[in-house]
Structure 1
């Protein structure tokens, strides 16, 4: 007898307004959702595969745009950013003192706000934790085009965060930010603007941190003359010695190869050599693929090996591509909203949203559908 397919997770009514972001923890066993109703919900998956809500609380004074998990090495730590111009860092506190014998083996937890980062004077649109090997660091971007990098010098005391860098990436709105993952290169931060018409058509800028100078400097600026805003971008978890791979959601999914300078490669002890500081002329960016998403790509996610890329679209479709040994991308699966939304009215409401219907100009690189 053919086994029934596993039903998709359908959360019971929790938020009272639009859900803006859904984020899994490092192991995929916990889930966080944030909403315009200013609340955050935590969901835990039990041994039977069922998801149950373990916490729901108000986290900001405005719409909550993003919720992200820190690496579990630092504990159960999450960060949120909001329209109220603040970034909050929360950690889970386990309560053990009032457990009865019947509840032994179960744990009660409480989420505590450890710090409030209120340096921004505008809407904070995105946040991203740095990779684990860089320590507990957090980057945020705002509607004023500003990038801020924070650090917790003592991971045992999350109430103390320092603003260590502040960069002006654009004079228009920043919409997304991401860190590179490579241990053999200097750290990179990529920032995208979700304004359709940015200054000089610069939609993506990449900064590199030079430890010898104690500062971030701009090394790459990508000019994308597209009718679609940049809604998300992600570095591949795996990078080559001579290049990084950057995926960008801007209508369709654009994949760039960012060639690095030899001076940006660290030695065996992760120290910089005697090479001179890197300049922008040492870097180059080439578009290597365009993954067709009917000009509606919204969010991106790589797998841990960087060989599979998933894009969720504003029409409710989820598409997955796989990279081949020939450096081509093959469409593995396409799941429209009808596959996981059973209510016909909800499907109609999701797929009827018009979004950037202008056609893209012809490109000189392959398009993989």
Structure 2
């Protein structure tokens, strides 16, 4: 009888343990389901910048760039940052590549190509340089983590380099001036660069094959001058290629107050049009194209080309290209064409407007324009209807003049480079409220802003 009771006790005890284990497993499964559902509803928002480098200058030779291929993705932690949120996690540090460009003088501009694989720089030393950064090694930014540092050291081998200098191209003109801006054309047209110089000239270079290697490997190329645009009397401060749907067309904004358009035709490069930015003759500091599919870009007679300009008269101005068809015997043929101002200039800044950028359109029925000024502010102008009014909202007031601004590919994140040696990244939330989500300093760290 005692043995039977002992066996029964043992069976009860084992059954109880089995039930507890099953309950524990069920609880863990439920926790995993909850965690997975949270991951599905609130995912890290990754903001990748490929077309444009967000940069600032360390000194006259070193630059810091962030690219897609080098893994410079700024990740906002779950549900953060958002105004009014109490709990925050620190974002990851941004991988940053520091490049010694070997320029002999001040760097004025750098730009990544469409795919983020090649980098072009221009300088006061009257040269531009092209680098292959597709295989660049970047610091993970986790400098305080010995494990990550050891892993990084293990990955870096002596054969790999931070960058590969492909070409150093001096301007062929002996009297060439410092180069202020560089811009890549769309890859549909090949490897084409526009260079804006201080003496008012714009140089068009194209990369061409000189010698073909075996099986396409080891090709030898060189950059050849294709055209010199000599239209402006003063420095060209900004150049911007049109959306590829409009063809190979370059807008050039100059300190002489004029904006010219250089277009590649069958017969060669021609000045297709131009306009004076202001009646006062104030200098034009920047120019940006409206996206091909932006709100109001499709008219009854076809696409409407539009640009925005920033000026020394404190205004942001929108222009559209008008083509008047001929009448009479030649009805239907193309008549006169010209640029006209849309409505009136947008005033909100109280100092020079240094840069303007029309946000990319990804299906949102609205237009967004960002402007940075010497008054230390960045403004975003929004339009909800094709012919509606533009509303202005201040993103932030900085401690120094704002020199460059750039949108992410989706138009959801705005990067700002001011005179305080820092690049900051901003995202819009409810009621036109903008919050800083990260920044890049000369240490190359992405720092979450808890105060802004």
After TM superposition, the score normalised by the length of structure 1 is: 0.76
Give the Cα separation in 1 of the matches to 2:136 and 2:261: 40
SS at 1:233's partner residue?
A: strand
Q: Which residue of 2 aligns with 1:235?
A: 358
Match status 1:150 vs 2:242: no
Match of 2:341 among 212, 218, 224: 218
Q: Residues 154-193 of structure 1: matches in 2 within 5 Å?
A: 154=266, 160-170=268-278, 171-183=281-293, 185=297, 186-193=304-311
Q: Residues 201-280 of structure 1: matches in 2 within 5 Å?
A: 202-212=314-324, 214-219=337-342, 220-226=344-350, 228-238=351-361, 243-250=366-373, 251-258=376-383, 261=386
Give the Cα separation in 1 of the matches to 2:381 and 2:203: 32
Q: How far off is 1:93 after superposition?
A: 0.9
SS at 2:100's partner residue?
A: coil
Q: How far off is 1:182 after superposition?
A: 3.4
Report which structure shows greater RCO (CA 8 Å, sep ≥6). Answer: 2
Q: Provide closer, same or farther for how the CA distance between residues 260 and 127 of structure 1 changes in structure 2, counting only shifts above 3 A.
A: farther
Q: Which residue of 1 aligns with 2:168?
A: 56
Q: How far off is 1:336 after superposition?
A: 2.5
Question: How many residues in Structure 1 have an aligned counterpart in Structure 2?
Answer: 305
Q: Which residue of 2 aligns with 1:361?
A: none
Asked if structure 2 preserves the Cα contact closer than 8 Å seen for 1:68 and 1:128, the reply is: yes
Match of 1:76 among 191, 213, 220: 191
Q: Provide closer, same or farther for how the CA distance between residues 138 and 13 of structure 1 changes in structure 2, counting only shifts above 3 A.
A: closer
Structure 1 residues 59-68 or 26-35, which shifts more?
59-68
Q: Which segments of 5 or more consecutive residues in structure 1 lack a partner in the other structure?
A: 262-281, 341-367
Asked if structure 1 preserves the Cα contact closer than 8 Å seen for 2:178 and 2:198, the reply is: yes
Give the Cα separation in 1 of the matches to 2:131 and 2:285: 26
Q: Residues 108-127 of structure 1: matches in 2 within 5 Å?
A: 108-127=220-239
Q: Which residue of 2 aligns with 1:284?
A: 389
Q: How far off is 1:27 after superposition?
A: 0.8
Q: How far off is 1:52 after superposition?
A: 1.2
- Structure with max Cα Rg: 2
After TM superposition, the score normalised by the length of structure 2 is: 0.62
Match status 1:35 vs 2:123: yes
Match of 1:319 among 424, 435, 444: 424
Q: Provide closer, same or farther for how the CA distance between residues 64 and 305 of structure 1 changes in structure 2, counting only shifts above 3 A.
A: same
Deviant stretches of 4+, over 4 Å: 4-7, 239-242
Q: Residues 88-103 of structure 1: matches in 2 within 5 Å?
A: 88-97=203-212, 99=213
Structure 1 residues 47-56 or 13-22, which shifts more?
47-56
